[in-house]
Chain A
Amino acid sequence: MGVMADQLGASLDAKASTREFGPWMVSEQKRVFLLCQRMLQDVGEADSATQDTFLKAWQALNRPESKDLDDPGKWLTRIAVNTCLDRLRSRRWQFWRKRPGSEDEQTILLMAPATDPNAEDHVFAEQIGKRLDRALERLSLRQRAVFTLRHYEDRSLAEIAEILDLDVGTVKVHLFRAIEKLREELHDLYFRNRGRK
């Protein structure tokens, strides 16, 4: 969580003003967008979901009954994850929907350039990473949410439990099953230069 988020959390006694909300949004925007993009696997939808997330946050902060936030970043993550889960649920009915091409993603996401001596290895790792992204479709919605928060955001199991309103035991079960389903991709990601054990 950025400094701005701390400032926002500290100053949110009354209704949030755009002067506070703007910088906080800038500090959290990329993280929220990437989270939505990982969960939805669609840049356009992730863009809309990110906008929805900040709009919901703004509306929640401006409700008369809104309370001070202990951890605005975690709170925002919860809104983002729920927004993505809603979209994934409604997507189940959109059987005519086709997968977006990876070229579209490339136009928006500029991956960090690999300039170190192991550049080739990094490119290969990125390819496996993309394979892993696509493999997320094999997971159930909860498994996908748990895995995304752990794999890409490196959240602790307790944090994930809090964000998803689950107990830690359930989070462990979802994560274990997700890892089982992604076994091949994870092996290639972490042990690509070694034999299988």
Chain B
Amino acid sequence: MKHWTQNEFEQWLYGLKEEDGHVAGCAECRAEMERLTLERRRIITPAEVSHDFLAAQRRGIHQRLGDPIRNWAPLRWAASVMTLLLVVFSLTLRSSKTAPTISDEQLFSELAAMEQSSEPKAIAPIHKLFEE
């Protein structure tokens, strides 16, 4: 006669194994089952929680029920979106700063100088090669 192993008893305790023919006829296994059932009953007996703690918790819940602003979930989302927008905005600002800036006046004067010059601007480096 092969008795149930501890693993089998555990699986039975947690609903993963059904009683079989052996257990029905085995006094030893039945006794073990009864012992384990009592042990389980002790485990599922809820622990004591201090009344003061529970009362303070209820006060907190009532306060939040009457004060919807304390429900931070939507505010958290809004804060995240705002932070994201701020990051995007600051990045955009930085990239626009790094781009070369030139005023209209400067641009027009450079264009006028190029127009008046007889030689194209690209010749200047070649002239420099022959200078002493």
Contacts and interface: CB of A to CB of B under 8 A. Distances in A.
Contact of B42 (A50, A108, A125): A125
Tier of interface size on chain B: 20 to 34
Mostly helix, strand, loop or mixed at chain A's interface?
helix
Interface string B15-52: 11000000000000000000010011011111111100
Interface residues of A, number: 44
Contact of A110 (B9, B10, B49): B49
A111 B42 CA distance: 12
Given A26-B58, A29-B58, A51 B64 contact: yes
Contact of B61 (A25, A112, A154): A25
Given A51-B60, A197-B6, A33 B54 contact: yes
A190 B34 CA distance: 12
A112 B42 CA distance: 11
5 contacts: A51-B64, A108-B50, A110-B49, A156-B15, A190-B39
B10 A179 contact: yes
Interface of B: 5-7, 9-11, 13-16, 36, 39-40, 42-50, 53-54, 57-58, 60-62, 64-65, 71
B15 to A, nearest CB: 5
A22 B48 CA distance: 21
Interface in A129-144: 129
Interface string A179-192: 10001001101110
Interface of A: 18, 22, 25-26, 29-31, 33-34, 47, 50-51, 54-55, 58-59, 108-112, 122, 125, 129, 150-154, 156-157, 172, 175-176, 179, 183, 186-187, 189-191, 194, 196-197
Nearest to B3: A197
Contacts of A190: 6, 9-10, 13, 36, 39
Contacts of A194: 6
Nearest to B66: A18
Contacts of A187: 6, 10
Given A29-B54, A29-B57, A55-B61, A150 B47 contact: no
A108 B47 CA distance: 11
